[in-house]
Amino acid sequence: MIEVEHVTKRYGSALAVDDVSFRLGAGEVVGFLGPNGAGKSTVLKMISTWLPPTSGSLRVAGFDVEREALEARRELGYLPEHNALYDTMRVFDFLRFMGKARGLFGPRLAERLDWVVASCSLQDVLRQRVNQCSKGYRQRIGLAASLIHDPRVLLLDEPTHGLDPLQVVAFRDFIHELAPGRAILFSSHILSEVAAICERILVINRGRLLADAKLDDLRAQAAERGIDLERLVLEIVEERSGGREAALRGGARPGGGAA
């Protein structure tokens, strides 16, 4: 469903993403883990068709995101990092707009609106303007908008940001319900959050993909060495980033030399 092949992204001389490759199939929920500035959002933006890669290729449900951007977007639901919404619109009008912009009209639109409103628990704020809603509600509105067209591929950039602990638990359950038939890639810099939802994680730092592993395998490795999962992932990041200092520095690499 998502194919990322040797993708590189440069901003001038800064290398934001360095030769990243991975694949996601239907039914997979994969966590994209890395510190702030590691390149997670840049990769998601490229998959979403918002940013073109400098080199490499990306495909969504078989569609090339550059040459077949419209087709790829039809298959995508995308919750961007900052979850920017049309603030002055009322929540219901905003969701209806997103549905229509996705080609939904009439009974199908009404059906999908009912579903996302119920699924994201937005009944209480439907008549409010988006800018009157709390951060948690805004996040749920963004999630509802990304699901309105029942996409086969879901990209969620820091989706639990702003949610309270109860909502985070509800979100995890919801993602599990959504998973059948879909590829879901969601980014986070919190390992426990990723570990609670996913079976597989991608670890990225300084633009490079450092690990693509099943969580069960990592847990087994951690148990074998008598350390916890967090410590193991940190060691992987340090070892493959060229030491602790480089690992902590994160961010894009000027010049683009190998780390």
Partner 1 sequence: MAQSTAPSAASATGRASATGPAPGFLSGVRVIATRELGAYFDSAIAYVYTIAFVALAGSIFMNEFFLAGRADMTPFFDLLPLLLAVFLPAITMRLWAEEAQKRTIELLLTLPIRPAQAVLGKFAAALALYGVFLACTLPIPIMIGVLGDPDVGRIVSGYLGLVLFGAMFLALGMFTSALTGDQIVAYVLATVAGIALVLVGDERVVSVLDGLFPGLTIGSTLYDTLAVLPPYESFVRGLVELPAVLYFVGLSAALLWANALVLRISRA
Binding site for partner 1 (CB under 8 A): 45, 48-52, 61, 70-71, 73-76, 78, 80, 82, 84-89, 93, 97-98, 100-104, 115, 118-121, 140, 143, 145, 149-152, 166-167, 170-171, 173-174, 177-178, 180-182
Rounded to the nearest whole angstrom, what is the least distance from the CB of residue 257 to partner 1 in the complex?
23
C-beta of 59 vs 182, nearer to partner 1: 182
CB of 56 to partner 1, least distance (A): 15
In the complex, what is the shortest distance from the CB of residue 80 to partner 1, in angstroms, rounded to a whole number?
5
Whole-number minimum distance, CB 180 to partner 1, in Å?
A: 5
Coil, strand, or helix at residue 34?
A: coil
Contact call for residues 30 and 201 (beta carbons, < 8 A): yes
C-alpha pair distances (Å), 10 with each of 18, 34, 88, 119:
8, 19, 35, 39
Q: How many residues does the chain have?
A: 259
- Comparison of 45 and 259: residue with beta carbon closer to partner 1: 45
Q: Which CB sits closer to partner 1, 173 or 216?
A: 173
Measure CA 146 to chain center.
Answer: 11
Tell me 39's DSSP state.
S
d(CA 31, CA 56): 22
The answer to whether the beta carbons of residues 7 and 43 sit under 8 Å apart is yes
Given the complex with partner 1, which of 183 and 233 has the nearer CB atom? 183
